[in-house]
Structure 1
C-alpha cells in the first residue's frame, strides 16, 4: 500500500498520455524521460500493436523507465471537457462486448502516424503492380518482409 506522502506526490504529477507508440510517440517519451529529472510526469502510452511488433524498444525498457503501456488498445474518444481518453481492446472478437478503458490525462499527445499519400495510378506507371508497397504501418512492414523472402530484386 502506498504511503500518504507517495499518494500526494503521485497526485501532484502531471499525467501525459500518448496515443500511438510508433517512432514519434517513442521519441516523445525518450525526450520527456531525458528532461524530466524531477519526475514531474507520469507517462502512459496507448498502443494497438503488441510488444513483439514494436521492434524499437523491448517491454522491459518501458518498465525500467516507469512508462505504462496499454497494449492492444485503440483510443476511440478523447473527452477534453473531463480530460479522459476512452480506449477499447483490439483483441476481443465480439465488438459488442469490448471493454472500455478510461484513461485520465493532463496532457494528451496524439502520435498515431499517418497514411502514405500515393500519386494517381496514371501518373506513375506500375504503381498498382503486385510487389509495390507503401511503408507506414506494421502491416505494411510485414507484407514487405513476407515478399522479400521470395523476391530476387528490390528498389527503395
Structure 2
C-alpha cells in the first residue's frame, strides 16, 4: 500500500490495490507500520499464568523419555489419578502444549521420511540370489542355483525364475 500511496494514488485506490479495506489501509497509513510489524509487536514471550505442571514435571519426564509414543492425554489421566483434585479437565490442552514443546526441544529426534512416487512403467527392481547356502537337494544331489527376482515398483507385480 505504501508503494501505491508514494505513486500519488489516493487511499481508497491504494488500499484496494493492496487487497484491503479502506479503513484498514487508513489504520496502517496512520500508524506508518506494516501488518507484519504490528503482528511482531503483539507476540508475547512471557507466561500470563503460573505453570500448573511445574512441580510435577520431573515425575512426567521418565514417562516421556522411556515411552516415545505415549500420548499427553494418557499422562494427564495418570496425573489426575495420582494427584486427585490438583488438575482439572480444562488444563489438558495446557499439558498437551507442554509435552509437545518438550518433545520438540528436548525429545528424541524424529525419523526422516521421504515419500516415493512410483509411475507406471518407469521403474523396476531386480535381484539375483545364490541359493547354495540353503543346501537344497533333489534326489540326494545338491541343487546349487541362482534365483532371479523382478518386480515392477508401481504395481508390485513380480516374477521369480531360477536357472
Larger Rg: 2
Shorter-chain TM range is: under 0.3
Higher strand share: 1
Higher helix share: 2
TM-score, structure 2 normalization: 0.21
Bigger relative contact order, structure 1 or 2 (CA pairs below 8 A, ≥6 apart):
1
